[in-house]
Amino acid sequence: MADAHAARSKLWTLDFIKVGMARFFSATTLQVLQTIFPIFLDSRGFSATAIGTVATLFTTCSMIMRFGAGRMVDSGSRRKVGMLGASFVGVGLIACLLVVLFEPHFMSSVTLPGGSVLTVGMIVIILGRMMHGLGNSTVNITYTTMFADVLPRDRFVEGIGYSGLFNSVAQAIGPAIGIALIALSPTITFSACLAPIVMCFFIVSSLRYESDPDYIKRAKTEDEAIGEEEYKGIWKYFEKRSLPAAVIMFIMAVCSAAVSNFLALYTASIGLAGVSVYFTFKAAFMILTRVTSSRFSERLGIYKTIMLGIIITAVGYSIIPAAKSPAMLYFCAVFDGLGCGLAYPMLSVLTLNGVSRKRRGTANSTYLIMWDVGVGVGAMIWGALIDATGGYTPIFTLSGALLVADFIISVWLSKKYPARM
């Protein structure tokens, strides 16, 4: 047993740590911006409708870029695309920083088609936020693909679980950092965000594994074992082998939208405090479970680990209407975090199941596009249901039921498209 353990490949290589730190810095910055931007826009005189429009533009740019980023990662240098993504975010930050530093120079009014009047500063801020959207997709796809590149084959599943820790920690601390920074000033906020993005850029620029002979040889061997397939038309932008994971994730994203968009409104409607701590609990238990998710997959297999995560999440969502105290709400968060912590890493593994190195970027793009669509569709469905029923309780009960349906679909997919890893 000791000899077998000693023979395992090294997981925490320098390249793995570098990609992880680049992921952490970029994700933390984007989490901060996600939290503070509505507050910042409100302070600049944006109406609620305008704030929502800017959020839509960010999401639209992010989603459109997913198509291009996947192809760019597969056809060019991962390092250069990663640097480009960090540059997009950096340019957006600099644009916003210039407006707050030299506001008097951006006060000229511009009349847009339709009669809307905006200052030059407002337009620059909107364009800056759109750049954040472009950068968000680019760094997500690139760094996720880089993780897959630098992981040894015999520790791939375990490594994917650990790679998600960098993003989970950013999700846990980013919002709190954002609230603290924006309370000081927008200048400090954007300046503080610029520093980690610059660090991210230089960390990625130092990655040279793609030109390493050992990596080239290993990648060629693995790709030859998988085999090449010609992709035409729309399939150039989507990876067929990743569709099982994308379908499962789409339904999870629809259900997740109920919590991310409406949990705060629900708890406020019943006078229940502590909703912000819910997401802290969720992130903490996601981090805890990610560390052990590979052990579950070794015993259960990839699909069964995903199914277990789905059912645990379904329980958490279903009992939210019964939460009448902060303690009970946090209990729901524990289920949410444990379930997502089990399912998400294995869905990332399943996304790359049987995918060659030349298609990993497209595979990750396929998976993340379905997440975007699911969140958007879910927000519309649950919002319409709330308006139709006049209450929030049905959306959490139904999201739990929909996850049960996702479990059944996962069972079918596991038989139809078994995992090869």
Separation CA 202–CA 18 (nearest Å): 10
**What would the pLDDT profile of 329-356 be if each residue is shown by its tens digit?**
999 999 999 999 999 999 999 998 888 8
- Answer yes or no: is 319 within a domain: yes
Q: With CA atoms as reference, report the closest residue to 73 among 63, 59, 60, 83.
A: 83
What is the predicted pLDDT for the residue at 219? 75
Give the model's confidence band at 1: pLDDT under 50 very low, under 70 low, under 90 confident, else very high.
Answer: very low
**Domain finish residue from 165, 199, 224:** 224
Are 242 and 304 part of one and the same domain? yes
Q: Mean pLDDT: which of 115-129, 158-172, 313-327, 375-389 is highest?
A: 313-327
- Answer yes or no: is 201 within a domain: yes
The yes-or-no verdict on residue 4 having pLDDT over 50 is no
Reduced to 3 states (helix: H, G, I; strand: E, B; else coil), residue 109 is strand
Q: Which domain holds residue 161?
A: 9-224
**Domain finish residue from 206, 224, 242:** 224
The structure's pTM equals 0.82
Strands 117-119 and 109-111: antiparallel
Percent of the chain whose pLDDT exceeds 70? 94
Q: What is the CATH number of the domain that holds 384?
A: 1.20.1250.20
Separation CA 320–CA 256 (nearest Å): 13
- Answer yes or no: is 229 within a domain: no
**Domain finish residue from 224, 255, 283:** 224
Are 157 and 291 part of one and the same domain? no
**What is the arithmetic mean of pLDDT over 320-335?**
92
Yes or no: say if 249 and 374 are a contact pair by the CB < 8 Å rule. yes
**What is the arithmetic mean of pLDDT over 266-293?**
84
Q: Between 56 and 322, name the one with better pLDDT.
A: 322
- Answer yes or no: is 1 within a domain: no
Number of domains present in the structure of the chain: 2
Q: Between 222 and 321, name the one with better pLDDT.
A: 321
> For residue 93, which amino acid is it?
L
Give the model's confidence band at 2: pLDDT under 50 very low, under 70 low, under 90 confident, else very high.
Answer: very low
Are 142 and 262 part of one and the same domain? no
Reduced to 3 states (helix: H, G, I; strand: E, B; else coil), residue 111 is strand
What is the predicted pLDDT for the residue at 225? 66
Helix, strand, coil tally for the chain in percent (to 5) = 85, 0, 15
Are 178 and 64 part of one and the same domain? yes
Q: Mean pLDDT: which of 151-165, 220-234, 249-263, 400-414 is highest?
A: 400-414
Separation CA 237–CA 365 (nearest Å): 8
Kindly report the average pLDDT of the chain as a whole number. 87
**What is the arithmetic mean of pLDDT over 216-238?**
73
**What is the arithmetic mean of pLDDT over 322-335?**
92
Separation CA 342–CA 345 (nearest Å): 6
Give the model's confidence band at 244: pLDDT under 50 very low, under 70 low, under 90 confident, else very high.
Answer: very high
